[in-house]
Structure 1
Amino acid sequence: MRTAIGLHACREVLAVRPKKIKKAVLSKDWERSGDLKEIRNLLHNYKVQIEYQALQQMDRIGSQHQGIAFDVNEVLEPNWPVLENKDTLLVVGLDGIEDPHNLGAMIRSSWLLGVDAILTLKNRSVGLTPTVHKTASGGVEHVPIEFHASLQSSIEWLKEKGVCVMGLSEKGNKSLFDVEIPSRVLWLVGGEEKGIRKSYQDLCDELVSIPQVIGHHSFNASVALGITLAETWRQTKN
């Protein structure tokens, strides 16, 4: 079970998988909002149970709820039998992303830039929290996400399938804008403090850095991934 909050996130749930909504929570002041009126009508059409709460009560779910929250039964997961045979494959592996705003932004960028699947960790990482849903603005409904105790076996399996594994690292010996990005690639991104762990770095075909003007600071994880995915799209779009 996961909880989506915010207008954009909940609209995407309604658009993509309305039958998977177990319960909807709306603000008691829903009549004041044209958006909430419209969504309430759609919920009635799909016969979704609606609970009405005061705004202060809804703040316990997440402070950015905008008067709406959905409990959703399903998480979109990768269809590997289809994906493994694609000529163009773009996978993101996340190692220790703990900030929900970072994860939400990463999912949103992944959605907008055509990522086929996200692999992330069950432990020492943030899950699909309400804040992640709000920040992703609907991206959770479109990007398949898979949770693992470790990414090692998935990385090794993808390498066996001919996928190039590239890691983002400040210590990377090649610039993102100089390296040739293949059409089938797994990008590994490390957590905000520790980066990619050594055992995963050892599995990378390339360690890549992003050039920057100021050398003693670094991009946060979500910005780094967004830049990387945009460059990947630029190179592989044809």
Structure 2
Amino acid sequence: MAFDNNRGFGRRPQPKFRVREDNEFRPQNRENSEGERREFKPREGFSGERREGFRPKPRFEQKPQDTSRAIQDGIVPAVGDADAAPQVAVGGIKEVTELLTKSPMQVHRVLFMHQSGNPKLYELQKLAKRAHVHVQQVDSKILNSYATPNHGVVALMNEKELLVWEDVREEFFTAVDKGERKLIAVATNIEDPRNLGACIRSSLALGVDILLLPAKGMCGITPSVARTSAGALEKMRICRPNNLEAAVGELKMAGYQILGLDADTETNLADFKFSDQAVIAVGGEDVGLPPFIKKQCNAILRIPMMPEAHSYNASVALSLGLYEYARLRIK
């Protein structure tokens, strides 16, 4: 076999592109005469005109939500609704930014104007999500019904005054030295507002002195919480410490018994001996007690349950734990 320096040993030149005889763009295969443009033929069943009333689907984050649904679904509460928790509406980009930066636990929802196109509102929406505050897109009429001017954003805050831990903790520390009975409830990882409302109602009925909630990571005190609590929200002392782990640690150092409720333990709630100063903590049904609570517990207690059942609702578990303490300690 001959060797060609230009082509290489045994290599035959190959065409750069394969020529197809059925190519419709080749001159011999064109049906139309030279210079004549072919007529566009849309596919069968396709109409080139938009149907009347058709609008392009908006992006997910810009899609307005149905504001006519019931309040218990956690949607925007109707203005002046008798079942809604008393709330304050704060409008304006600067004002809402300050609230989300300094006091995010006081805000339970931020309303944004639908399709505003304002980049500042987009950044503010990301700030609200980082603070675990619910956001919602609504039209301008709903925003204006809460606050004017609002510059496209309104924050909804509860008039329910939440206690500051640094202002009340001394009361609970000195109770140990005085021998006073103090019962503290802790609820974490609860996402259902109705579940939280039931926890508040049971806490008030069973003599809880204060209910501690995390500043982030669970639902806020919404109108659904107020309605489910059946009036207990206005009477119950509630605090959302900026650092719940540190607050529980301080109570333990002061001499409080830290007790967690969990299904995966052998210690039966009915067999446990409570002290006069106790903290009873419960977590959400799916997540349970967070690790920072578990590691500080003096005991983790199990509530008796039939094997067919998987778990208790968080508010039911807290109610049973509080009842057992009240049965033994409250006369």
Q: TM-score, normalised by structure 1?
A: 0.70
d(CA) in 1 for partners of 2:265 and 2:293?
Answer: 14
Contact between 1:58 and 1:67, CA under 8 Å: does it hold in 2?
A: no
Decide whether the 8 Å contact of 2:185 with 2:211 is kept in 1: yes
Consecutive unaligned residues in structure 1, runs of 5 or more:
1-55
Whichever residue aligns with residue 209 of structure 2, its letter is: D
Q: What secondary structure, in the 3-state scheme, does the structure 2 residue paired with 1:93 have?
A: strand
1:73 counterpart letter in structure 2: E
Of 152, 158, 161, the residue aligned with 1:75 is 161
- Determine if contact 1:83/1:116 at 8 Å carries over to the other structure: no
Structure 2, gaps ≥5 residues long:
1-67, 88-157
Structure with larger RCO (C-alpha < 8 A, sep 6+): 1
Q: Cα–Cα, structure 1 residues 197 and 67, in superposed 2: closer, same or farther, change >3 Å?
A: closer
> In the alignment, is residue 108 of structure 1 matched against residue 194 of structure 2?
no
Residue aligning to 1:171: 264
Matched AA of 2:192: D
d(CA) in 1 for partners of 2:69, 2:198: 26
The count of aligned residue pairs is 182
Q: In structure 2, give the amino acid aligned to 1:141.
A: E
* 1:187 is the counterpart of 2:280: yes
C-alpha distance in structure 2 between counterparts of 1:216 and 1:188, whole Å: 21
Partner of 1:38: none
* Contact in 2 for aligned 1:101/1:131 (Cα 8 Å): yes
Separation in 1, partners of 2:194, 2:326? 23
Contact 1:113 1:229 in 2 (8 A): yes
Q: Structure 2 matches for 1:191-210, cutoff 5 A?
A: 191-210=284-303
Cα distance, 1:82 vs structure 2: 2.5
Deviation per residue, 1:29-53 (Å, 9 max, x gap): xxxxxxxxxxxxxxxxxxxxxxxxx
Query: In 2, distance between residues paired with 1:69 and 1:118?
Result: 18
- Greater fraction strand: 1
In structure 2, distance between residues paired with 1:112 and 1:234: 12
Q: Helix, strand or coil for the counterpart of 1:177?
A: helix
Q: Please, which of 172, 182, 189 is the counterpart of residue 89 of structure 1?
A: 182
CA shift, 1:214, in A, is 2.8
Q: How does 1:36-51 map to 2 (within 5 A)?
A: none
Distance 1:61 1:112, change over 3 A: same
**RMSD of Structure 2 on Structure 1 (CA):** 2.4
Give CA-to-partner distance per residue, 1:144-184, whole Å, 9 cap, x none.
11113442101110011110000001112211101111110
TM-score norm. by structure 2 comes to: 0.51
CA shift, 1:237, in A, is 1.4
Larger radius of gyration: 2
Which of 201, 215, 230 is equivalent to 1:122?
Answer: 215
Q: CA deviation at 1:80?
A: 2.7
CA distance, structure 1, for counterparts of residue 190 and residue 70 of structure 2: 26
Aligned position for 2:151: none
In structure 2, relative to structure 1, the CA distance for the partners of 1:57 and 1:103 (3 Å cut) is closer
Q: Which residue of 2 aligns with 1:131?
A: 224
